[in-house]
């Protein structure tokens, strides 16, 4: 029985939008981590306790890496060539956002404005993401 099914499917081109059901992707994961980064920066700046500040830096750096991870998953696993054709700014948005979460951004900075810039980029990506979900 299985052999007949495999023979019937042989040579059949199969395609899917994504490697898992699309419901597993959501830019909210990156945004939650970016909000955590911003809150950690604010707590760092408000504290005079050096031990607390050292812990805040470690947490901020860890959360910044998680932002990059969640963005990379969206960039490489969810978005496909037709999305990049329809939204030509998408590659640049992801590049900018991941850099804002990296060593030159929130991972290496305690500037709240940088965290706000990161959140704004994630919001732009999310807007496009949700537009693609309507199609």
| Domain contains 72 | yes
Per the structure, the count of domains in the chain is 1
| Domain contains 122 | yes
Query: For residue range 39-51, what is the model confidence (pLDDT) as tens digits?
Result: 999 999 999 999 9
Whether the Cβ atoms of residue 27 and residue 121 lie closer than 8 Å to each other: no
Q: pTM value?
A: 0.83
| Domain contains 119 | yes
- Backbone phi, then psi, for 20, in 5-degree steps? -135, 165
Question: Measuring CA to CA, which residue among 103, 126, 106 is closest to residue 115?
Answer: 106
Q: Which residue has the tokens 């750096």?
A: 61
| Domain contains 9 | no
Query: For residue range 71-85, what is the model confidence (pLDDT) as tens digits?
Result: 999 999 999 999 999
User: Could you tell me the CATH number of the domain that includes residue 57?
Assistant: 1.20.120.400
Domain that holds residue 68: 25-134
């Amino acid at each position: 029985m299985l052999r007949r099914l495999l023979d019937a499917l042989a040579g059949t081109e199969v395609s899917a939008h994504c490697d898992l059901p699309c419901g597993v992707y959501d830019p909210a994961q990156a945004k939650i981590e970016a909000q955590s980064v911003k809150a950690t920066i604010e707590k760092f700046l408000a504290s005079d306790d050096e031990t607390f500040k050292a812990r805040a830096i470690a947490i901020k750096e860890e959360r910044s890496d998680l932002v990059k991870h969640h963005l990379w998953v969206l960039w490489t696993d969810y978005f496909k060539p037709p999305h990049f054709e329809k939204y030509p700014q998408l590659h640049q948005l992801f590049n900018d956002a991941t850099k804002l979460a990296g060593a030159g951004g929130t991972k290496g900075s305690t500037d709240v404005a940088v965290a706000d810039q990161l959140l704004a980029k994630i919001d732009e990506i999310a807007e496009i993401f949700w537009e693609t979900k309507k199609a």
